[in-house]
Amino acid sequence: MPTHGVTTAPINATETGKLRLKTQSNGITIVEGQSILMTKGAVGENISATGQRENATAMIVDLNGLRPGDPRISTGVAFFSTNSTGKLAFLDKMIAIYQVKASSGGTAIKMWEWKGADISVESK
């Protein structure tokens, strides 16, 4: 299936942020916070000709529960915003669903853009 307008070119960036964890009595942890992505690299790669780094902000909400077998998996939603006109511009107003898998070998994060749709429900 073709994916028009999709690029897989890497964007070299750093992420910083603050998270707040709220552990519920049922073992579910709700993670809320803000993350800032900032490009790094060479001019023309991820930094503009004027030397400006691009940045984007993500507000996140994450659910992390106790799972038999692997408790280091969480699922969440990220709400992105940016005024970038370069490599991070595609993130503006994007909503993404993500899954984080942490292990001793590192952390893997997969994200999928959420495309909403209007669904009509008929009553009988």
The verdict on residue 5 lying in a domain is no
The verdict on residue 23 lying in a domain is yes
The verdict on residue 1 lying in a domain is no
Return the pLDDT at 52. Answer: 73
Q: Confidence class of residue 104 from pLDDT cuts 50, 70 and 90?
A: confident
Q: Confidence class of residue 1 from pLDDT cuts 50, 70 and 90?
A: very low
pTM confidence score? 0.72
The verdict on residue 122 lying in a domain is no
What is the CA angle 81-84-86, rounded to 5? 130
Grouping H, G, I as helix, E, B as strand and the rest as coil, residue 90 is helix
Task: Evaluate if residue 71 carries a pLDDT over 60.
Answer: no
Which residue segment(s) compose the domain that 55 sits in?
Answer: 13-113
Helices (H) and strands (E) in the chain, counts: 0, 6
Total domains, the chain: 1
The verdict on residue 24 lying in a domain is yes
Task: Evaluate if residue 103 carries a pLDDT over 90.
Answer: no
The verdict on residue 95 lying in a domain is yes
The verdict on residue 71 lying in a domain is yes
3-state secondary structure 47-88: ECCCCCECEEEEEEEEEECCCCCCCCEEEEEEEEECCCCCCC
The verdict on residue 120 lying in a domain is no
Return the pLDDT at 23. Answer: 84
